[in-house]
Amino acid sequence: MAQITPEQTTKAIHPVLGIMGGLGPAASCYLYQMITDHTPAQKDQDHIDIVISSRASTPDRTAFIVGKSKDDPFDVMEQDGISLVRYGATVLAIACNTAHYFYDRLAAALPVPVLNMPRLTAADAKAAGCHKLGILATDGTLLAETYQIACRDIGLEWAAPGEQAQKGIMSIIYDEIKQGKRVDMQLFNAAVDDLYAQGCDMAVLGCTELSLVKRDEHLGPFFIDSTEVLCKHAMRACGVDARVDAFTFDELAARMRLFGTAERIPLLTEAFDALGGRAPLIVELKTGGDRYALCARTLKLLRSYGGPYCVESFDPYIVRWFYRNAPDVMRGQLAEQMRRSRPSLGLVRSLLLSRTLTNCLTRPHFVAYRVGPLPWPVRLCAALGALLVGWTARPDNGGAEAAMRAYGAVIFEHCRPPARY
């Protein structure tokens, strides 16, 4: 396998979506168009950065899985994934359900997260109230059991069309859609009727070519489209429509598995149990909802942790809460040049936060500032005794060693700072 250095995976300082496409080409184009159409953008720069590989010559996935071909598509797919990462992709999406037969090998071979479309789709179906999911997919996908396993892992019943109805689905995919022909809806409806008869209350369009049927034939709510699911989660992985505080924990656990893996966002207490007090914690609190209730609840939980900890936030109200209500807890003020990164704050608020002019009210023990030029109030805080922390040191902005020369401590990624304490 070709090697990728940490520097090659960190050139992008913001999310970049890599689409492994060409599997087939029309479905890949549809995914790209869907992401573009669903992104709330006022100008070009508001859209997600996307790099696409459309390797239409990739060996047929179904033919290999069912034993009709000895041409293994994995090597080509792996090379495409590596190429996308070298072009800056920070998360990958595979625009083909059948290709997820190779998911575990790809996820292990590539240095960035890979979204798992079948697992995400099954989870979304269950969250939507589905009890038994019908699977409309290629023979390869059914034989690989990607959807069956995804359903079984979350306690969701499933069913597949009978032999004759499945032949009709394969004909639709290979003899019609892939050849640019209009779909024979009589064949399609026969498979759907088969699933109805088996008690399914929802059916997944588990082949990206079948997503085109929903687009062209205006299919109803009985169908969950795997391409739409992949689109939504790819956008969320790139920071679009992804505020965690908009969901309950149950919704997060059911719908937002980490990039389609079995891992979910843990509770803070679960992190405590895993660490067992063996490691110091930096807990960053985000603004949203009732900030003071968040502070009180977090403090109560932190008091139960068996190791050292500190809190930090961009929100000076949160830092001040800890100054007034828990002065013994080490607290830090996060900051950066807000005028550039968060123009919606306005000039006055940006100036106050960028220059950490609220520190006289919050009295932080440390100031964590984005690596780069430091305004004089931040340097003054350091002169008065506050620990100066740089975030985030990466190979592309000088690395941890350079940051350690300018800061008392560093927050780092893809590099290791020299020991100091």
CATH code for the domain in which residue 193 is found: 3.40.50.1860
- Say whether both 281 and 221 belong to one domain: no
Considering the domain architecture, whether residues 135 and 63 belong to the same structural domain is answered as no
Q: Are residues 97 and 130 in the same domain?
A: no
Same domain, 272 and 304: yes
Residue 81 covered by a domain: yes
| Location of structure tokens 């965690």 | 244
Confirm whether 387 is domain-assigned.
yes
Examine the domain organization and report whether 174 and 321 are in the same domain. no
Whether 331 is covered by a domain: the verdict is yes
Judge whether 418 lies within some domain: no
**Does 34 share its domain with 50?**
yes
> Measured between alpha carbons, how far is residue 418 from residues 39, 64, 402, 408, 412 in Å?
42, 49, 10, 12, 11
Range of the domain at 89: 6-116+233-246+251-260
Per-10-residue mean pLDDT of the chain, 421 residues long, equals 42 76 87 88 86 93 91 94 94 93 94 93 91 95 94 95 95 91 92 96 93 87 92 86 61 60 80 92 85 92 94 92 96 78 57 69 89 81 84 71 77 70 50
Q: How would you class 171 by CB atoms within 10 Å of its CB: exposed for 0-12, middle for 13-18, buried for 19 or more?
A: middle
- 107 and 14 in a common domain: yes
Sign of the alpha-carbon dihedral angle for 39, 42, 48, 51: positive
**293 shares its domain with 398:** yes
Residue 419 is assigned to a structural domain of this protein: no
Write the CATH number for 393: 3.20.20.190
Phi, psi of 397 (to 5 degrees): -125, 30
pLDDT the model gives residue 154: 92
What pLDDT, on the 0 to 100 scale, is given for residue 345? 54
Question: Are residues 99 and 237 both part of a single domain?
Answer: yes
71 and 156 inside one domain: no
Q: What pLDDT score does 11 carry?
A: 42
* Domain total in the chain: 3
Instruction: Give dist(CA 52, CA 19) in Å, integer.
Output: 5
| Angstrom distance (rounded) from CA 215 to CA 325 | 56
Residue 75 is assigned to a structural domain of this protein: yes
Would 1 be classed as within a structural domain? no
Question: 27 and 125 share a domain?
Answer: no
pTM of the model: 0.60
**The predicted structure's pLDDT at residue 370:** 85
Assess whether 275 and 407 both reside in one domain: yes
**Hey, what are 38's tokens?**
């669903």
The answer to whether residue 420 is domain-embedded is: no
